[in-house]
């Protein structure tokens, strides 16, 4: 057994700093937890001249060669983000027999398979718990604790920024732009929030979870994504009237004819466990054939929660090194399941419209939905305007392409003045 295990950290932003802090804080604990000392050997940064409070600057370097060519470094902790140069660095590290822990969801969603193959070839660990849901353990439970289950569904709130925005819109009657500005002010949202508010971040995460849960490769390009930028205060009001909340939900289902994977805003009944997940918290709801239902809940981002997940992986690697059993759990995608297109996925829908207020209008709208195999579950006239009326519909489960065909036909009708909102609805809503 090695007396000392040495690690290099790639990146010293928020999460990298958190990792460094935990290693220093837990220094005296590691010999008891992993059977060896754990030491930071090098920290890779872009700018070595930048002042960094609380960091031993003798460890800081801007040279990857210093790390890759140092045979005493056992573990590379990648917290740089992005595809390149992270992909190259991880590939090279694994090829040189160094174990890797990463929080890089973009990279693992697109290139996880090839990196896991390199890890297997060189009998190395490649662990990535922090790539999904921050500090919440979900990847390890899926790969290990729930391995005896056939997982049929994963549904979750896996982007803290959008959940914070929707919480503010719900609790404080904010419009989207107002809630987004607050999220940016408080540091929950980036200056360019596109990846979060348009569902791209959640899309990458659900691709990773679906791949693991269903043992079949799902990439980000397979995921239908729709964000929250079009959600209005009026939509939030309608949700409350239906005893629901609106959440950005990432869903993956294993069905008889393939895998369904998507990210969309959704009306969720207040009785559902995910409805009470607020602010920047994340939660992942899992259904297995033996387990039944389980939910994993906690902080989905932040310096120390994310660093906590990374360090959990680092400790696992250290223990594997100690017992010479690295590379025991690699890629679990041994199936080749088809991934369904969004056109073939069934959903319930909330539709808000402005219609001409005259005889025959509702009948014509109902006929259009019916002609496209879309059944109206509920229909409520909300307000009357001069010459028109606001009418909302709940449409029962129907395939996406049929529903969208109905919407296209309605949009062309002169007595349909406006289709204001289209939001998917959880099946538990009656």
pTM confidence score: 0.94
Q: Write down the mean pLDDT value for the chain.
A: 95
User: Which tens digit of pLDDT belongs to each residue from 80-118?
Assistant: 999 999 999 999 999 999 999 999 999 999 999 999 999
Asked if residue 100 lies in contact with residue 94, where contact means CB atoms within 8 angstroms, the answer is: yes
Find the mean pLDDT for residues 59-83: 97
Distance CA 131, CA 140 (A): 12
Residue 197 contacts residue 227 (beta carbons within 8 Å) = yes
Distance between CA atoms of 243 and 429, rounded to whole angstroms? Answer: 9
Distance, CA of 182 to CA of 171 (rounded, Å)? 14
Q: How many residues does the chain have?
A: 430
The predicted structure's pLDDT at residue 283:
97
Q: How far apart are CA 21 and CA 32, in angstroms?
A: 19
Identify the DSSP state of 345.
-
Q: Are 44 and 67 in contact (CB under 8 A)?
A: yes
CATH topology match: 4-134+303-322 vs 342-425: no
The domain spans of the chain are: 4-134+303-322, 139-298, 342-425
Cα angle for residues 308, 309, 314 (degrees, 5° grid): 90
Q: What order do you get walking across the sheet with 37-44 strand by strand?
A: 60-61, 37-44, 4-10, 75-78, 99-102, 126-127
Evaluate whether 201 touches 189 at the Cβ level (below 8 Å): no
Q: What is the pLDDT of residues 184-194, one digit of tens each?
A: 998 888 899 99
Question: Could you say which DSSP state residue 143 is in?
Answer: I
CB 196 within 8 A of CB 184: no
Is the model's pLDDT at 34 over the cut of 90? yes
Radius of gyration over every alpha carbon of the chain, rounded to an integer in angstroms: 24
Confidence of residue 175 (pLDDT cuts 50, 70, 90): very high
pLDDT digits (tens, 9 = 90+) for 395-418: 999 999 999 999 999 999 999 999
The 3-state DSSP class for residue 4 equals strand
The DSSP result for 366-392, as a single string, is: HHHHHHTT--EEEEEEEEEETTEEEEE
CATH of domain 342-425: 3.30.70.260
- Say which residues have a Cβ less than 8 Å from residue 65's Cβ, sequence separation at least 6: none
pLDDT digit string, tens, across residues 36-45 = 999 999 999 9
Measured distance CA(161)–CA(193) in Å, rounded: 9
339 secondary structure, DSSP code: B
Q: Which residues contact 231 (CB under 8 A, 6 or more apart)?
A: 166, 169, 176, 246, 265, 423
> How would residue 329 be classed by pLDDT, with cut points 50, 70 and 90?
confident
pLDDT at 430 over 70: no
Work out the pLDDT band at 77, boundaries 50, 70, 90.
Answer: very high
Answer whether 311's CB lies under 8 Å from 17's CB. Answer: no
Question: Which phi and psi (to 5°) does residue 250 adopt?
Answer: -95, 130
Catalytic residues: 205
Peptide bond into 85 cis (omega under 30): yes
* Helix count and strand count (H, E) for the chain: 14, 16
Q: Which fold has domain 4-134+303-322?
A: Rossmann fold (3.40.50)
Mean per-residue pLDDT, 235-242: 95
Q: Specify the DSSP class assigned to residue 144.
A: I
| C-alpha closest to that of 336 among 238, 214, 426 | 214
Which one-letter DSSP state was computed for residue 182? H
Q: What are phi and psi of 304, to 5 degrees?
A: -80, -40
- Sign of the CA dihedral running 41, 46, 51, 53: negative
Candidates 73, 69, 55, 57; CA nearest to 19 is 55
Q: Is 350 helix (H, G, I), strand (E, B) or coil?
A: strand
Is 139-298 CATH 3.30.360.10?
yes
């Amino acid at each position: 057994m090695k007396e000392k295990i040495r690690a290099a950290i790639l990146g010293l932003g928020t999460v990298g700093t958190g990792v460094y802090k935990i290693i220093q804080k837990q220094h005296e604990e590691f010999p008891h937890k992993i059977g060896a000392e754990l030491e930071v050997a090098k920290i890779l940064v872009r700018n070595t001249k930048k002042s960094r409070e609380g960091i031993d600057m003798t460890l800081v370097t801007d040279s990857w060669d210093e790390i890759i060519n140092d045979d005493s470094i056992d573990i590379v902790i990648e917290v740089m983000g992005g595809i390149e140069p992270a992909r190259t660095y991880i590939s090279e590290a694994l090829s040189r027999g160094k174990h890797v822990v990463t929080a890089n969801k973009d990279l693992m969603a697109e290139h996880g398979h090839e990196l896991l193959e390199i890890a297997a070839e060189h009998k190395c660990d490649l662990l990535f718990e922090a790539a999904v849901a921050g500090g919440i353990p979900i990847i390890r439970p899926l790969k290990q604790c729930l391995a005896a289950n056939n997982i049929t569904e994963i549904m979750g709130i896996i982007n803290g920024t959008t959940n914070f925005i929707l919480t503010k819109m719900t609790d404080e009657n904010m419009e989207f732009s107002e809630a987004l500005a607050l999220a940016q002010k408080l540091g929950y949202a980036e200056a360019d929030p596109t990846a979060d508010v348009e569902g791209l971040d959640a899309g990458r995460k659900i691709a990773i979870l679906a791949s693991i849960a269903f043992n079949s490769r799902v990439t980000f390009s397979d995921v239908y994504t729709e964000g929250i930028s079009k959600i209005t205060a009026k939509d939030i009001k309608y949700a409350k009237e239906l005893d629901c909340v609106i959440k950005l939900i990432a869903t993956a289902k294993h069905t008889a004819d393939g895998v369904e994977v998507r990210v969309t805003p959704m009306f969720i009944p207040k009785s559902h466990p995910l409805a009470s997940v607020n602010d920047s918290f994340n939660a992942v709801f899992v259904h297995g054939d033996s387990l039944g239902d389980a939910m994993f809940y906690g902080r989905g981002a932040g310096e120390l929660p994310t660093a906590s997940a990374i360090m959990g992986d680092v400790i696992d690697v250290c223990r594997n090194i100690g017992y010479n059993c690295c590379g025991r759990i690699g890629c679990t995608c041994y199936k080749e399941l088809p991934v369904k297109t969004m056109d073939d996925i069934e959903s319930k829908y909330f539709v808000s419209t402005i219609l001409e207020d005259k005889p025959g209008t509702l009948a014509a709208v109902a006929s259009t939905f019916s002609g496209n195999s879309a059944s109206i579950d509920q229909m409520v006239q909300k307000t009357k305007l001069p010459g028109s009326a606001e009418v909302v519909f709940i449409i029962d489960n129907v395939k996406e392409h049929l529903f969208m065909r109905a919407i296209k036909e309605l949009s062309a009708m002169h007595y349909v003045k406006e289709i204001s909102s289209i939001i998917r609805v959880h099946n538990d809503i009656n």
